[in-house]
Chains A and B, each alone.
Chain A
């Protein structure tokens, strides 16, 4: 392509700027922002992660002490376990639920706009408000959920007061915000060529088989993208458990980012917090890479 650019350059008279400089100039805000608000903090964070740093006093270099400490810190492993468990359940279940709802909406139903809005709306609710509403729905004594369960003869658990039920409660709540994924999948479904379904009909496929053999492969790149974004989001879970549970319930709802926040801004261990940040970065990059590699075979990219 560089030859055509050269041709064009020759054609344009009175050019003051070479093309590359123009390009860099246009992109320069991002470059500055990247250096200042990404590269610099990431670099600093690496230095802090090797230091004893209370924020109030200057950092002192301590080598890998913070990382070693994390490795032997049961709370670190607890939040790691919680976060992974949450991601490992909420992402697949959420993805399946979103696909099913999208598939239901991808029929010639009347009132599509309404249904779509109803499913999407929850994602607009501020997390603080959402956390509060759900805190109450989950209330063991007076909550709507246990009242509803009571009608069908089930004594509901003390969702947010019982370590065994905290994680299920948070996962159920996470399903409430699948609306964004539903909208994305719905758009992708609408792009699947009708001819493929007609061919499947000729092969005598049923609804379920059509969905699994035609629909899912056709939209697999979109699913992949969503799953990666969901993995990243899962590592950032903060506001909801922070508000709903605080320190409580045997740390059953204590997540990675909450512990990182506490280390930095409550316990004055900026060094440990930075080490956690780096571990998180490496894990996310590794997970994303892994997802790509695994999906190389599974994901169907259309030409």
Chain B
């Protein structure tokens, strides 16, 4: 660990001032998002912009209106909150996203763990070339593939189903394989060699030694993949047809595309709700997270 010490008190003050300033600038759009989600629609576009609703005491009421919604006794909708909107079915999109995320993340973790073992622990001719190929595929952007993939999935009869969004994950991902392979290489070889001498097969070594020791790395893969699926926009945009199948990232756009009308307060409430799980996940797993990202900088 090499951290640089700031000894001079003036330098130290300047440093903190800079860091606090930077953090504020980065946090501002998010604070604005939350602030807007707590206003009535009529106050979302005001000059000058206001941070709090007017009157401030309306804040809890606005929060309920925008997030939960309010229905009059007769059953008429007074405020269409994000969670009870009759048109934009947020809970349904959440459910869709979770289904896709579950199938996708599970597939990605299992397959990448297996494949990485083949690259890290089994010796075979052509392994180096093959691994270089894996790394090379990281350079291929999705847009290059999307049009023909659409045709392929059509041949499979997958268009209009969730399959295009999760099935490919069961064949591993380049970055995930790379990350896990790097991690496996840090596990002492002596462990599995001893096991193999005891008659353990590769499958046995993988299941009994490598996997249990790789939990942190697997968690990193799962975490990243989850966030990727959670936020993915282009994939669902192309492969999903029914509004009933939309994922959150796609459903969010419905707030904008309804005949040009943007109910900013609802949109921001929905955005806040979408960010929330990821935020919680991040706070809970910050160390794992940061380590995982840091590995991306690993040099070959």
Contacts and interface: CB of A to CB of B under 8 A. Distances in A.
Whether the complex brings A and B within 8 Å at their CB atoms is answered: yes
A276 B26 CA distance: 35
Interface stretch (A28-36, A68-76, A84-92, A160-168): A28-36
B75 interface: no
B127 interface: yes
A176 B122 CA distance: 43
A33 to B, nearest CB: 2
B282 A119 contact: no
Nearest to B296: A184
A134 B18 CA distance: 23
Interface in A109-139: 109, 113-122, 124-130, 132-134, 136-137, 139
B168 interface: yes
Contacts of A15: 201
Contacts of B27: 118, 121
A133 B32 contact: yes
B141 A243 contact: no
Interface stretch (B58-66, B78-86, B130-138, B213-221): B130-138
Contact of A38 (B45, B137, B275): B137
Contacts of B122: 19, 22-23, 26
A274 interface: yes
Interface in A25-48: 25-27, 29-34, 36-38, 40-42, 44-45, 48
B145 A38 contact: yes
A228 B175 CA distance: 14
A288 B296 CA distance: 17
Q: Please report whether the interface of chain B is mostly helix, strand, loop or mixed according to DSSP.
A: helix
A22 B26 contact: no
- Contact size range, A: 35 or more
A164 to B, nearest CB: 23
B125 to A, nearest CB: 6
Contacts of A36: 152, 168, 171
Given A20-B124, A37-B171, A190-B2, A109 B15 contact: yes
B72 interface: no
A27 B119 contact: yes
Nearest to B271: A129
A297 interface: no
Interface in B155-170: 168, 170
A12 B123 CA distance: 15
A284 B141 contact: yes
Nearest to B114: A26
Interface of B: 1-6, 15-16, 18-19, 22-23, 26-30, 32-33, 36, 45-49, 111, 114-115, 117-119, 122-125, 127, 130, 133-134, 137-152, 168, 170-172, 177, 193, 196-197, 199, 201-202, 206, 227, 230-231, 233-234, 238, 248-250, 252-253, 255-256, 262, 264, 267-268, 270-271, 274-275, 278-279, 282-283, 286, 290-291, 293-294, 296-297, 299
